[in-house]
Amino acid sequence: MKIATVVGARPQFVKMGPLSRLFKKKFQEIVIHTGQHYDDNLSKVFFKELNLFKPKYNLGIKAASDISQISLMISALEKVFIKERPDLVLTYGDTNSSLACALTSSKLNLSLAHVEAGVRAFDRNVPEENNRFIIDRFSTLLFCPTKSAVRNLKNEGIKNGVFYTGDVMAEVLRENLEQKLSSSGKVLEECLTGGSSRIGTVHGGYILVTLHRQENVAAPRGRENLKEIVNALMGFKGRLIFPMHPRTRKNLKRFKLWQKLISRDSITILEPQGYLNFLGLEKNADKILTDSGGVQKEAHLLRVPCITLRKTTEWPETLENGWNRLVPCKRDAILSALKSSLRPGLHKNIFGSRKASEKIFKIITSWLRKR
């Protein structure tokens, strides 16, 4: 039996490891990397650190706009799928790569499995929300990370092929916390230093910042949002560590905000970090300021308070008891959240057991046997 796994972005590389290792025991897995994240710090380093299998295909698609990127992915995936004729196509999450995979597999009448199905922010202005909605409608097997994701699909009339499995990203994080970030702290210290003397040995006393979403960093609306965010960071007197996405760096320079940001000694700007380095930075932060869906989830799993620069979140469960807060992109609101001394309340396990990948593997194995 042959399974084609389509990935293209950092969160997908993180999620794929446990399931790929299980597939290797029983199936032929063909990994297809669309090239959506082509920077080595957002792509290659994750395959190395997480011991992922090298993709058989790297499509190298680096288009400027979403529409051109998706159309090029569809054209390239069509050729690969026709050549390989997989028994099942699998993808993760809500990226452009996932959407292109869903559209292509549907047109070729190939069955699709979607890991992280049913996740909703209930905001159709968010590009990823539309991706999720479409992908789930083309999926034969829908693997839900939370119970609310199952309810979301049921409310949309999708019941067949829906399974509550828990979250594979949570599984990877727990696995690496145990195996890589040992109690001795030696590996953890390496994660925090990241090979850069600018960070030094950091154990708390800082806020971690990540920023990459189009509506916060790219024109037209992102220009104003980015200006508000930078003004808030400049007004904060505490220490900030900011691993910077290439698009964010590019637009900070384009909008003439770069020099202002780097003028502050209390703001440490880094290149994008590998998975283990970033996990270490997350784990030891006092708070995390982000617009990333995956980072919200990781912050909750690590029990680190999170400030999310968005109007809605696909992980509403993280808002319970104050572990995550939605804050508008306004200087005063961001600054108030950064300075807040409020501590979250009761912490709940919302992402299921440690064995999400095993549940998914068993379901896929059973489904393929019955074909």
Torsion from C-alpha of 48, 51, 56, 62, nearest 10 degrees:
-40
Identify which has the larger pLDDT, 362 or 47: 362
Domain contains 115: yes
| 64 alpha-carbon distance from chain centroid | 20
Give the phi and the psi of residue 34 in degrees, each rounded to 5.
-70, -25
Is the pLDDT higher at 195 or at 263? 263
- As a 3-state breakdown, the chain gives helix, strand, coil percent values, each rounded to 5, of 50, 15, 40
Instruction: Say yes or no: 119 and 52 in one domain.
Output: yes
- Which pair of tokens denotes residue 162? 């829906």
CA-based torsion, 207, 252, 273, 6: positive or negative = positive
Q: Is residue 194's pLDDT more than 50?
A: no
Give the model's pLDDT for residue 42: 53
Compute CA distances 147 → 159, 164, 165, 242, 254, whole Å: 13, 6, 9, 33, 43
pLDDT of res. 99: 98
Q: Phi/psi at 86 (nearest 5 deg)?
A: -70, 155
71 and 120 in a common domain: yes
Tell whether 228 is covered by a domain.
Answer: yes
Radius of gyration of the chain (CA): 20
Tell whether 8 and 154 lie within a shared domain. Answer: yes
Judged on CB neighbours under 10 Å (0-12, 13-18, 19+), 318 is: buried
For residues 78 and 39, state if they share a domain: yes
How many domains does one find in the chain? 2
What is the predicted pLDDT for the residue at 184? 33
Q: What is the CATH classification number for the domain harbouring 220?
A: 3.40.50.2000
Residue 212 bears catalytic tag: yes
Residues 160 and 186 in one domain: no
Share of the chain above pLDDT 90, in %: 74
- Residues 363, 327, single domain; the answer is no
- Are 136 and 265 part of one and the same domain? no
Which range, 54-63, 85-94, 264-273, is most confident? Answer: 85-94
Judgement on whether residues 246 and 296 belong to the same structural domain of the protein? yes
Residue 203: pLDDT band (50, 70, 90) is low
Backbone angles phi, psi at 100, to 5 degrees: -60, -40
| C-alpha distances in Å from residue 74, one per residue of 78, 97, 138, 173 | 6, 9, 15, 31
211 and 110 belong to one structural domain: no
CB 312 within 8 A of CB 326: yes
In a shared domain, residues 144 and 211: no
Strand partners, 290: 308
- Confidence band, pLDDT 50/70/90 cuts, at residue 197: very low
Is pLDDT at 224 greater than 60 in this prediction? yes
Residue 58 buriedness (CB in 10 A; 0-12 / 13-18 / 19+): middle
Domain span at residue 140 reads: 2-167+352-370
- Phi and psi of 361, rounded to 5°? -60, -45
Q: Residue 345 falls within a domain, yes or no?
A: no
Q: Of 10-24, 41-55, 137-151, 346-360, give the range with the top mean pLDDT.
A: 137-151
Summarize the confidence of residues 12-34 as an average pLDDT: 93
Sheet holding 162-164, edge to edge: 57-58, 28-33, 2-7, 88-92, 112-115, 141-144, 162-164
Looking at every residue in the chain, the average pLDDT score rounds to: 89
pLDDT at residue 180, as a whole number: 59
**Which of the following is catalytic: 37, 212, 245, 300?**
212
Per the listing, tokens 């990203």 go with 169
Domain for residue 344, yes or no? no
Assess if residue 347 is contained within a domain.
no
**Confidence band for 274, pLDDT divided at 50, 70 and 90:** confident
Residue with tokens 């270490």: 280
Q: Let me know whether 30 and 115 are in one domain.
A: yes
pLDDT at 201: 43
Instruction: Quote the pLDDT of residue 178.
Output: 67
Identify the bridge partners of residue 92 per DSSP, sorted by sequence position: 115
Does residue 136 share a domain with residue 180?
Answer: no
Phi, psi of 253 (to 5 degrees): -70, -40
Least confidently predicted of 12-21, 36-45, 320-329: 36-45
Section 44-50 average pLDDT: 70
Residue 16 has pLDDT above 60, yes or no: yes
Please give the Cα distance from 338 to 306 (Å, whole number).
Answer: 10
What average pLDDT does this structure show over 66-83? 96
Report the range of poorest mean pLDDT among 124-138, 213-227, 278-292: 213-227
Rounded to an integer, what distance in angstroms lies between the CA atom of residue 79 and that of residue 339? Answer: 53
**How buried is 322 (Cβ within 10 angstroms: 0-12 exposed, 13-18 middle, 19+ buried)?**
middle
